[in-house]
Amino acid sequence: MNPIIHARNLSKQYGTTKALDTVSFDIEAGRIVGLIGPNGAGKTTALKAILGLTDFDGELSVLGFDPRKQHTELMEQVCFIADVAVLPRWIRVREAVEFVAGVHPRFSREKCQAFLAHTKIKPGMRVRELSKGMIVQLHLALVMAIDAKLLVLDEPTLGLDILYRKSFYESLLADYFDENKTIIVTTHQIEEIENILTDLMFIRDGKIVLAATMDEVAERYAEVMVNPDQADAARALKPLNERQIFGKSIFLFDGVDRSRLAELGEVHKPSVADLFVATMKGTYA
């Protein structure tokens, strides 16, 4: 099966800054991919290239289309959620539904109304009358009613409280995602999406520094909590990172045999957040 996104030597430069530096990756259908990186790493530029919203150098195919030349055809198969503030504050809910129904050939008015029926949002309400959480619910209802093959989420829950963030991802999985759809999500709230991801991509300074399935991450990386008397032995195995907690050292290793690590202390699966911090060490110096 061909990947739905195929990128080779993808590059984009703003002045002297390389936003994307010869990036290559493939994304298969039916995956939920976390594109994670610090501010300015190239995440948004990569998404813009995938959506055909910026020019670039290199080779890029999305759902079999060239985003530069077949943008209209591509947009019929793609949905995008960034900041929900893009919804005009004067527009009424019913007008937003009618607008999307008029411009997107794969939109289901009935499905959208069914989603909204489970909220407190009424058709006659204007966006300015809605809380930010309700605006996200409206935006999500509009998007989930589109039978798109690719959903791109750029910080979709930014500024929401934890209840709305949790509800957002639960709705996404229960009412939208299936094996024929693919989701790419960027967020700084890594802990909240860790359990829904199938694939992980870390980007730093315009380069992909990690691209793996979550199963591969679990097999490859391990954390060990080590007593002080074993710390030097652990350091000899060249850990990616070391941090201190409660008088003990926690070391993060890449590709070291688990039985060897077990001799040093308690072996745990690292969180994506801890792996991210170790990988990006020095970025914020």
Instruction: Encode pLDDT of 238-253 as tens digits.
Output: 999 999 888 889 999 9
Give the phi and the psi of residue 53 in degrees, each rounded to 5. Answer: -100, 0
Confidence of residue 20 (pLDDT cuts 50, 70, 90): very high
Structural domain including 243 reads: 217-279
pLDDT at residue 284, as a whole number? 44
pLDDT at residue 9, as a whole number? 96
Q: 45-48: list long-range contacts, CB under 8 Å, 24+ apart.
A: 45/12, 45/19, 45/20, 45/206, 46/10, 46/20, 46/203, 47/80, 47/152, 47/154, 47/184, 47/186
Q: Is the pLDDT of residue 3 over 60?
A: yes
Over residues 44-62, the mean pLDDT reads 94
Q: How much is the mean pLDDT over the chain?
A: 89
Q: Residue 242 falls within a domain, yes or no?
A: yes
Instruction: Encode pLDDT of 117-163 as tens digits.
Output: 988 999 999 999 998 888 888 888 888 898 889 999 888 777 777 87
Q: Residue 270 falls within a domain, yes or no?
A: yes
* H-type alpha helices, the chain: 43-50, 71-75, 93-103, 109-116, 132-144, 162-175, 190-193, 214-220, 231-235, 258-262, 272-279
Q: Residue 222 falls within a domain, yes or no?
A: yes
Burial 216-251 (b: 16+ CB within 10 A, else e): ebeeebbbbbbeeebbeebeeeebbbeeeeeebbbb
Q: Residue 265 falls within a domain, yes or no?
A: yes
Over residues 28-54, the mean pLDDT reads 92
Confidence of residue 190 (pLDDT cuts 50, 70, 90): confident
Q: Residue 160 falls within a domain, yes or no?
A: no
Name the domain count of the chain. Answer: 1
Q: Residue 273 falls within a domain, yes or no?
A: yes
Q: Residue 253 falls within a domain, yes or no?
A: yes
pLDDT at residue 84, as a whole number? 52
pTM of the model: 0.87
pLDDT at residue 135, as a whole number? 86
Confidence of residue 282 (pLDDT cuts 50, 70, 90): low
**Greater pLDDT, 4 or 85:** 4
pLDDT at residue 283, as a whole number? 52
Q: Residue 228 falls within a domain, yes or no?
A: yes
